[in-house]
Amino acid sequence: MLLNVENLHAEVAEGGQPILKGLNLQVEPGEVHAIMGPNGAGKSTLSSVLAGRDDYEVTDGSAQFDGEDLLEMDPEERARKGVFLAFQYPVEIPGVSNKLFMQTAVNAVREERGQAPLDMFDFDEYAQSKMSTLNMRPDLLERSVNVGFSGGEKKRNDMYQMALLEPKLCIMDETDSGLDIDALKVVAKGVNALRSPERSFLVVTHYQRLLDYIKPDVVHVLYDGKIVKSGGFELVEKLENEGYDQIIQSHETGQ
Amino acid sequence: MTERNQVTTLPKMPPNARALLEALEQESQALNQRDQADPAREKLVARRIAAAEQLRQTGWPTRKHENWHYTGLTPLFESSFSLAATPNNDQDPADVAGLSDAALTPYLPPFETIRLVFVDGVFSESLSGGLDAIDDDLSIEMADADAIQSMTLADLRRYQGVQDGTRNAARPVAPSDAPSVDDVFVHINEMCLDQGLTIRLAPNKVLARPLQILQLVTQNDALVNLRVRFELGHHAQMSWLNQCACLDDAARSWVNRLQQVSLADGAVARQVDWQGLNDQSFLSSMTYVDQAPHSQWQNHALALGARWSRQQSYVCLNGEGADAEQNTLAWVRGQQLTDARTETQHGAAHCTSRQLHKFVVQDQGRGVFNGMIGVAKAAQKTDGQMDNKNLLLSPKAKMDTKPQLEIYADDVACSHGCASGEIDANQIFYAQARGIKHDEAVRMITQAFLLEPLESIAHDSLRQWLHDDLSKRLVALPSLQHQRDENA
Ligand SMILES: Nc1ncnc2c1ncn2[C@@H]1O[C@H](COP(=O)(O)OP(=O)(O)OP(=O)(O)O)[C@@H](O)[C@H]1O
Ligand SMILES: [Mg+2]
């Protein structure tokens, strides 16, 4: 199993408000899981906790990644071992060029894998080779990280980073939000190009459209800090037609 | 002169402050005694006496004085300074200090310069280089200060204060030469004045090679008192690099520098003012820039060292269409205090001024910025912009900033902004989520922040060299881990 989350409880580090309340999630290598759920359910929190953001404190439960205790690791260590988070809101870093940023990141991951670092020229070549699948404008690489990028360009840049780092687990937090139809296809194409028997995806989304393109193996509904329902692709269609009310109601009466 | 000293009793001050002031008086008197019999130095002696008297009247500024509130002088009083000893006869100061070319290595840029090296304020011919590139259009004079420095305190005051909205040539009343506590380092510079450096560039001459003025300090408890004057003829162009460094990390020194820059019509001057004094040392620096129509002044002040430093620059845009760019890049750590001040006076129409002052403050460091843009009544269509941005890397780091505008004209575009803050935790997490270590992320973000002002340096290899040098220094960001623990 690539990711095994059991009974995960997490709260806001400052204030102690509980957000994840006993979450279970198992992802096998090569699988694509979609996570849906109403606003405020805890989807971004789950993504952040898995990536290691210290705004949240895990109070109970466990998360194993590739057989190791994920929660013990610093965020950079998780990234080096193959966890990638595409942010709901990618962050701007003024003055740091996208290229230098990504060269540093790629070499950090290479170091972890026991590979020699790429120098400027090798990195340039590598960066070029990954650019075409995502229709990345080459000048975005020369600019400061996400500064002055449009919303769609930021998301695309995150996808591009994901392609460069070749992670094992890709967590995509609402990567499809704010994308136009063409950009959405590009992102879906990028994801599909990265799919492999070893690589898994956790795709957080509110909409069916992206999932139409990437066909998840499992669909989960996250509500009030827990996975309340899991199923196949048919669950997406059901939600699209009926909304969350029924699932939430049956979950709450079932309790 | 001892009689005169008795006329004014010193204001009340702590014993060590008084001791330093009296030590300076003695230094000044010793110079006067030496020059007593020299008729050519009569005027200089009189000026020193007058300046000593002015210092006596003002005493030292205290925290009660508005312009010194954040820049206490207490650390300066902890030791007694005497004027740096000068070699006898015509000995090269490098020989006296036992310096070889190797001492220069860290300060040599990878391109050709006309290099003037001074050891404890005294010119060293043996360490200097590129002097063969000096032609008739460039004059470099190291002479008795009175012969070359005619500027009086009243002249310097022309650079200050809009006051009634008319100023400089337009102002009918001559500026005062009354002593002022704000000019305390000017008074000291004048009372210890001995040698000066004057650099003149002929009209229309474009100097291809940058000038490099390297001030090396070696002596302990030494005051290095510098007076430098640049004069550029109309449409002349030159760049220079000031460097100020200590060769002995343990030696405490005090560099007190007064610079004047006079730019005739259409002249272009670009200065990089680098200081990397050791952690024990002090720097007080005043720069006065006088700009004729369509002249351009560009300054990049890089404040990297010193226990205590205060750099004040006065820029006077006196002719239409003149342009001034002033930048600061300050890295403040340990117990350092770094104070940067600009006073930019728009005295004529259609002038532009741009300023970007950036501070990174860590440990218990303190940064101070004070910037003032004044616009006289006649200076219509003024375009003035001043930005101060500060990054605080530790809870104990402190920044005090005060931007000011004083505008008497009605058709102007002036703005100022300042912002101080920590690194955005989201930025660090974003980098970490890409595998970049916490400290490396901090370093990357800090470096990008601090080095931004370098971008406007037009000389490619100079910019690159400064960039590389600073990046290397920042790799250290030594107490980062410590600060993280402190934060936790
Ligand atoms: N740092 C925080 N401080 C306080 N409250 C927080 C914090 N982070 C999350 N929350 C709260 O936790 C709940 C879950 O937030 P989260 O962002 O995980 O929801 P989400 O499922 O991603 O929602 P959306 O679909 O709107 O993106 C929300 O009520 C949110 O306000
Ligand atoms: Mg969210």
Q: What is the pLDDT of residues A209-228, one digit of tens each?
A: 999 999 999 999 999 999 99
A205 lines ligand 1 (CB under 6 A): no
Average pLDDT over residues A230-255: 88
Could you say which DSSP state residue B8 is in? S
In the sheet that A218-223 helps form, which strands lie side by side, from edge to edge? A83-86, A169-173, A200-204, A32-36, A218-223, A226-231
Residues B45 and B181 in one domain: no
CA-CA distance, A42 to B473, in Å (whole number)?
43
> What pLDDT score was predicted for residue B171?
36
Cβ of B481 under 8 Å from any chain A Cβ? Answer: no
Determine the residue among A45, A76, A81 to mutate to test chain B binding: the one whose Cβ has the most chain B Cβ atoms within 10 Å.
A76
CATH of region A3-254, choose from 3.55.40.20, 3.40.50.300, 3.65.10.10, 3.30.70.20: 3.40.50.300
Ligand nearest to the CA of A35: 1
| A155 to chain B, closest Cα gap in Å | 13
| A113 to chain B, closest Cα gap in Å | 12
A23 lines ligand 1 (CB under 6 A): no
Q: Residue A13: helix, strand or coil by DSSP? A: coil
> What pLDDT score was predicted for residue B153?
60
Residues B450 and B470 in one domain: yes
> What pLDDT score was predicted for residue B151?
55
Lowest mean per-residue pLDDT among B39-48, B330-339, B355-364, B446-455: B39-48
Average pLDDT over residues B91-120: 93
- Among all residues of chain B, which has the CA nearest to that of A164? B434
Average pLDDT over residues B123-129: 93
State percent of chain B over pLDDT 90.
77
Residue pair B346/B317 in contact by the 8 Å Cβ criterion: yes
pLDDT at B237 over 70: yes
Residues B464 and B387 in one domain: no
Whole-number Å distance, alpha carbon B191 to ligand 1 midpoint, is 67
Residues B314 and B206 in one domain: yes
CA-CA distance, B69 to B84, in Å (whole number)?
29
Tell me whether residues B433 and A95 touch, CB distance under 8 A.
no
If phi > 0 it is left, if psi is from -120 to 50 it is alpha, else beta; for residue B16 that is alpha
In a domain, B435, yes or no: yes
> What pLDDT score was predicted for residue B173?
40
B288: exposed, middle or buried (C-beta count within 10 Å: 0-12, 13-18, 19+)? Answer: buried
Give the start-to-end residue ranges of the domains of chain A.
3-254
CA-CA distance, B275 to B244, in Å (whole number)?
5
pLDDT tens sequence across A65-95: 999 999 999 999 999 999 999 999 999 999 9
Residues B99 and B242 in one domain: yes
pLDDT at B161 over 60: no
Determine the residue among B434, B436, B471 to mutate to test chain A binding: the one whose Cβ has the most chain A Cβ atoms within 10 Å.
B434
Domain encompassing residue B188: 93-422
Q: Among B65, B83, B101, give the residue marking a domain's end.
A: B83
CA-CA distance, B109 to B243, in Å (whole number)?
11
Q: Which residue has the higher pLDDT, B150 or B17?
A: B17
CA-CA distance, B321 to B303, in Å (whole number)?
30
Pocket test residue of A11, A14, A17, A55 for ligand 1, highest count of atoms within 8 A of CB: A17
Residue closest to B421 by CA, chosen among B382, B391, B380, B386: B391
Residues B328 and B464 in one domain: no
> What pLDDT score was predicted for residue B160?
54
> What pLDDT score was predicted for residue A36?
96
Cβ of B435 under 8 Å from any chain A Cβ? Answer: yes
Could you say which DSSP state residue A174 is in? S
Atom of ligand 1 nearest to the CA of A174: 27
Residue B231: phi and psi, rounded to 5, are: -130, 120
Residues B23 and B122 in one domain: no
| B303 to chain A, closest Cα gap in Å | 20
Find where tokens 């090679």 sit.
B209
Cβ of B455 under 8 Å from any chain A Cβ? Answer: no
A44 lines ligand 1 (CB under 6 A): yes
Whole-number Å distance, alpha carbon B142 to ligand 2 midpoint, is 69
CA-CA distance, B356 to B300, in Å (whole number)?
9
Amino acid at B302: L
Q: Please list, in sequence order, all residues whose beta carbon lies within 8 angstroms of the beta carbon of residue B209, skipping any fewer than 6 positions away.
A: B112, B113, B114, B130, B133
Tell me whether residues B426 and A91 touch, CB distance under 8 A.
yes
Residue closest to B44 by CA, chosen among B177, B185, B194, B199: B194
In a domain, B4, yes or no: no
**Ligand 1: which residue has its CA nearest to atom 5?**
A12
Residue B252: phi and psi, rounded to 5, are: -95, 130
Strand-pair category, A144-145 with A169-173? unpaired
C-alpha dihedral, B435 to B439 to B445 to B451, nearest 10°: -130
pLDDT at B170 over 70: no
A39 lines ligand 1 (CB under 6 A): yes
> What pLDDT score was predicted for residue A74?
95
Residues B306 and B389 in one domain: yes
In a domain, B8, yes or no: no
Average pLDDT over residues B288-306: 96
Cβ of B436 under 8 Å from any chain A Cβ? Answer: yes
> What pLDDT score was predicted for residue A116?
96
Determine the residue among B358, B423, B432 to mutate to test chain A binding: the one whose Cβ has the most chain A Cβ atoms within 10 Å.
B432
In a domain, B275, yes or no: yes
User: Which spans in chain A are helix H?
Assistant: 43-51, 75-81, 98-112, 120-131, 138-142, 151-165, 181-194, 208-214, 234-242, 245-254
Average pLDDT over residues A226-251: 91
pLDDT at A251 over 90: no
Q: Which residue has the higher pLDDT, B248 or A178?
A: B248
Residues B98 and B46 in one domain: no
If phi > 0 it is left, if psi is from -120 to 50 it is alpha, else beta; for residue A141 that is alpha
Domain count, chain B: 3
Lowest mean per-residue pLDDT among A131-140, A208-217, B276-285, B305-314: A131-140
pLDDT mean across residues, chain B: 89
Neighbours of B408 (CB within 10 A): 18
A229 lines ligand 1 (CB under 6 A): no
Identify the band that residue B157 occupies on the pLDDT scale cut at 50, 70 and 90. Answer: low
Average pLDDT over residues B414-436: 95
Whole-number Å distance, alpha carbon A32 to ligand 1 midpoint, is 23
Residue B430: its H or E element:
helix B425-432
Strand-pair category, A169-173 with A200-204? parallel
Whole-number Å distance, alpha carbon A45 to ligand 1 midpoint, is 6
Whole-number Å distance, alpha carbon A89 to ligand 2 midpoint, is 9
Residue pair B200/B263 in contact by the 8 Å Cβ criterion: no
pLDDT at B477 over 80: no
In a domain, B486, yes or no: no
Q: Residue B422: helix, strand or coil by DSSP? A: coil
- Among all residues of chain B, which has the CA nearest to that of A167? B434
Could you say which DSSP state residue A42 is in? S
Q: Which residue has the higher pLDDT, A157 or B152?
A: A157
Q: What angle do the packed helices B184-191 and B15-35 form, to 10 degrees? A: 30
CA-CA distance, B260 to B58, in Å (whole number)?
23
pLDDT at A164 over 90: yes
**Ligand 1: which residue has its CA nearest to atom 27?**
A39
> What pLDDT score was predicted for residue B167?
43
CA-CA distance, B173 to B166, in Å (whole number)?
10
- Sign of the torsion angle spanned by Cα atoms B127, B128, B129, B131: negative
A42 lines ligand 1 (CB under 6 A): yes
Chain B residue numbers touching A102 (CB-CB < 8 A) = 434
A13 lines ligand 1 (CB under 6 A): no
Residue closest to B291 by CA, chosen among B315, B260, B326: B315
